[in-house]
Structure 1
Amino acid sequence: MRRRSLTAAVTVLVLVPVVATLTGLIGVSGFMYTPQLAGFLVVCAVVAAVTVPAAMMLGRGIANDVMWLHEAHDAERAAEASRRELVTWISHDLRTPLAGIRAMSEALTDGVVSDPGDVAEYARRIRGETVRLSGMVDDLFQLSRITSGALTLTLAAVPLHEVVSEAVAVEAVAAARKGVRVEAARDCRWPVVRGSDPELARVVRNLLSNAIRHTPPAGSVVVAAGVSGDRGWLRVDDACGGIPDAELDRVFDVAFRGEGARTPGDGSHGGLGLAIARGLVTAHSGEIEARNHGPGCRFEVRLPLA
C-alpha cells in the first residue's frame, strides 16, 4: 500500500501542471476548437505519455528506497535491542564472580580465614572465578571480531578427526566432573574440510561444552562426522531433553540461554558460545543448525570439503 500511495502521489504531482495548463488554455480559447488548441492538445498528450511512466518509475524507486530505509531502521533497532540485552546479561554474569572474588579476598585480607586448608580452598575458588571471567572476556573479544568483520581466516586442509580428538580431550575434564560420557560414533567417515584450524577447534569445543553443560549426569554426548556431496558434516548429539519449539530458532542468538538455563556459576560465559560458533561457521562459508533429536538435541555443522 505504501508503494502504491507513493507511486500515485508522484504521478498526480506530474499530471497536475499539465492538466492545469491545459484547462487554462481551454478557458482562454473560450472553449472553442482552434488549430492552435489542437496542436497544444497533441503536445500535452505527448508530455503526459512521457512523464506519466517516468513518474510511475520514480514513485516505485522512491517507495523501494523508503521501504529499504524502514527495513534498515528495523534492523538497527533490533541490533540495538540485542546489544542492550547482551550488556544486561553480561553485566549480570560479571557481577556474580566479581562479588565472590571480592568476598573471598576480603575474608583472606581480614584474617577471617586462617586455616591453611581453608586458605587453599579460597585460593582455588578465586582462581576458578578468575578463569571464568577470563573466558567471558575472551568470548566478548571473539564475538566483537566476528560482528565487526575483523576476523581473518587462514584457510587450509583441516582433518576434522584431529580437531574433534583435541576438543574431546580438552572437554573430558568437565565431562568427567559432571559424570557425562563423551564419545565419537563408530564407523565415521571423517572428512577433511577447508578451514582454519584454531577457529574450527573453537566451534567444536563450544558445541561440546554446550552439550556437556545441558546433559544430565550419566548421560552421553556423541560426536559423528561424514561427507554429503561437496560438504563435510559434523554432528554433536546430547541428552538435554530437547528444546521448546519457540526457543529452537533462538539458540544461536547472542546471550540467549532459555528461561531455565540462567543459573549462577554455570560457567556458560554469558551464553555466547553458540553465537560464536555460528559466526565462525558462517565465516567458513558453512551452515550450522540445531534440532531436537532422540533424547536431546542435535547440532550439525556443514563445511566445504578441502
Structure 2
Amino acid sequence: MKDTLLIGLYSLIAGGVVGLAGAGALRLLRGRSILVHVMVLLAVTVLAVVAGVATVARAMFLSPHDLWVVLVTVSASAVISLAVGGVFGRRLAASAVWAQAARERERRLEAGRRELVAWVSHDLRTPLAGLRAMAEALEDGIISDRLTVDEYHRRIRVETDRMAQLVDDLFELSRINAGALRLMPITVPLGEVVSDALAGVAPLAARRRIQLLAADSGWPNVRAGEREIARIVSNLLINSVRYTPEDGTVHIAAGQDRDQVWLAVSDTCGGIPEGDLDRVFDVAFRGERARTPAVAVSGGGGLGLAIVRGLVEAHGGHVGVRNAGRGCTFEVRLPAG
C-alpha cells in the first residue's frame, strides 16, 4: 500500500509540473487557432503520462535496459496518440471554421431580412400614398380636365404594375428560400429567351438612350426551366440598364464550354467597388454605394439579383460578377441542353 501511494505521489508531481508548463503555454497561445490549442492539450496529456512513467520507473531502480524499454514503449504510444489527436484536431478546427462562417452568414441573412422589410415598407408606402391622393382627387372631382384625368389614370396603372412586380418578386424569393421551387427542365433555345428579354427591356433602354447589343446567331441551347431562365436573363438585363448611365451600352453574349452554357451581360456602369462585389446578390442590396448611384433608376426592390442567384443555384449552376473595362460583367453558367 505504501509503494502504491508513493507511485501515485510521484506521478502526480511529474504530471503536475508538465500540466503547469502546459497551462503557461496555452496562456501564451490564447490568440492562436483551435487546432493549436488541441495539439497543446494532447501534448501536455501525453508528456504528463511519459513524465509520470519515467519518474516511477527511476524510483523503482529499474535497470537501464528496462528503463529504456519502458520509455520507448511509452514514446511510441505517445506518437500514435498525437497523430490521431492531430487528425481529430484538424477536423474540429474545420468544424469550428464552418460553424463561424455559418453564424456570419446567418447574421448577414438576418440583416438582409431586416433591410428587406424596411425597403419593401418604403416601396409600398410611397406609391400607396400617391395612389390614394390621386384616387381621392378623382373621386372628389377636384381634377376635371381630360388630360389631367388621363395622366392620373396612367400613373395609377404604372404604380399598380410596379407594386405588382414587387409582390411577384417577394413571392418568387420566398419560394426559393423555402425550397418550394419546382423546376421542370427542358432544352431551351437561349437565343429565343434573349430575344424576348431584349424586347421587354427595350422601352426602358430607349428612354435612357442605352444601346442594347447582342449577336444575331450562334446561341446555344440550355437545360433549364423555361420560365426560370427567362426571368434570369430579364433580371440581369433590367439590372444593367438601370445602373448604366444615359448613352451607355449593355451587351449580352453566350457560348458553350463542354457541358456548360455561359451567359454574360456586360454594361458601362462605371464598375462596382471591390467591397461590394460579394454583396450585389444579397437580398435588398441596391448598390447605392456601388456603380453610379446618381444614375441608378429607381423602381427595383433590390430583389432581382437575389432571385437570379436563387434560380441559377436551383439549376445547379453558378452566377458571378466582376469588373471589366468601363463597367462590370455578370456571368451565369448552367447545364448545356
Q: Report Cα offsets for 1:60-84 as digits up to 9, x if no partner.
A: 4444433333332222222222222
1:12 equivalent to 2:81? Answer no
1:267 equivalent to 2:294? Answer no
Q: Which residue of 2 aligns with 1:285?
A: 316
Distance 1:142 1:54 in 2: 48
The structural deviation recorded for 1:160 is 0.7
1:127/1:208 CA distance change after superposition, 3 Å: same
Answer yes or no: is the 8 Å Cα contact 2:244–2:296 preserved in 1.
no
Greater shift after overlay, 54-63 or 194-203? 54-63
The structural deviation recorded for 1:180 is 3.3
Q: Report Cα offsets for 1:160-196 as digits up to 9, x if no partner.
A: 111112222222233334343434334x311111111
Greater shift after overlay, 155-164 or 105-114? 105-114
Amino acid corresponding to residue 283 of structure 1 in structure 2: A
Q: Which residue of 1 aligns with 2:334?
A: 303
The structural deviation recorded for 1:201 is 0.6
Q: Which residue of 2 aligns with 1:33?
A: 61
1:221 equivalent to 2:250? Answer yes
1:118/1:239 CA distance change after superposition, 3 Å: same
Answer yes or no: is the 8 Å Cα contact 1:86–1:255 preserved in 2.
yes
1:92 equivalent to 2:122? Answer yes
1:233/1:32 CA distance change after superposition, 3 Å: closer
Distance 1:61 1:294 in 2: 43
Amino acid corresponding to residue 68 of structure 1 in structure 2: W
Distance 1:136 1:208 in 2: 17
Map 1:25-64 onto structure 2 (within 5 A): 31-33=59-61, 42=70, 45=74, 53-64=83-94
Q: Which residue of 1 aligns with 2:260?
A: 231
Distance 2:245 2:294 in 1: 16
Greater shift after overlay, 101-110 or 205-214? 101-110
TM-score by length of 1: 0.79
The structural deviation recorded for 1:115 is 3.7
Answer yes or no: is the 8 Å Cα contact 2:319–2:332 preserved in 1.
yes
Distance 1:295 1:96 in 2: 34
The structural deviation recorded for 1:111 is 4.0
1:211/1:265 CA distance change after superposition, 3 Å: closer
1:105/1:163 CA distance change after superposition, 3 Å: same
Answer yes or no: is the 8 Å Cα contact 1:212–1:221 preserved in 2.
yes
1:14/1:157 CA distance change after superposition, 3 Å: same
Cα RMSD for the two superposed structures: 3.5
The structural deviation recorded for 1:243 is 3.4
The structural deviation recorded for 1:200 is 0.7
1:203/1:57 CA distance change after superposition, 3 Å: closer
Map 1:113-262 onto structure 2 (within 5 A): 113-186=143-216, 188-259=217-288, 260-261=292-293
1:63/1:15 CA distance change after superposition, 3 Å: farther
Distance 2:244 2:86 in 1: 60
1:51/1:227 CA distance change after superposition, 3 Å: closer
The structural deviation recorded for 1:276 is 1.4
Identity %: 50
1:209/1:232 CA distance change after superposition, 3 Å: same
1:253/1:68 CA distance change after superposition, 3 Å: closer
Amino acid corresponding to residue 262 of structure 2 in structure 1: W
The structural deviation recorded for 1:267 is 1.8
Q: Report Cα offsets for 1:1-31 as digits up to 9, x if no partner.
A: 23111232245356657866886x67xx9x4
Answer yes or no: is the 8 Å Cα contact 1:93–1:264 preserved in 2.
no
Structure 1 unaligned blocks of 5 or more: none
Structure 2 unaligned blocks of 5 or more: 1-31
Query: Secondary structure of the equivalent of 1:78?
Result: helix
Q: Which has the higher contact order (CA 8 A, sep 6+)?
A: 1
Q: Report Cα offsets for 1:141-170 as digits up to 9, x if no partner.
A: 212222333222111111011111222222
Distance 2:252 2:81 in 1: 65
1:16/1:109 CA distance change after superposition, 3 Å: farther
Greater shift after overlay, 192-201 or 42-51? 42-51
The structural deviation recorded for 1:255 is 2.0
Answer yes or no: is the 8 Å Cα contact 1:96–1:264 preserved in 2.
no
Query: Secondary structure of the equivalent of 2:231?
Result: helix
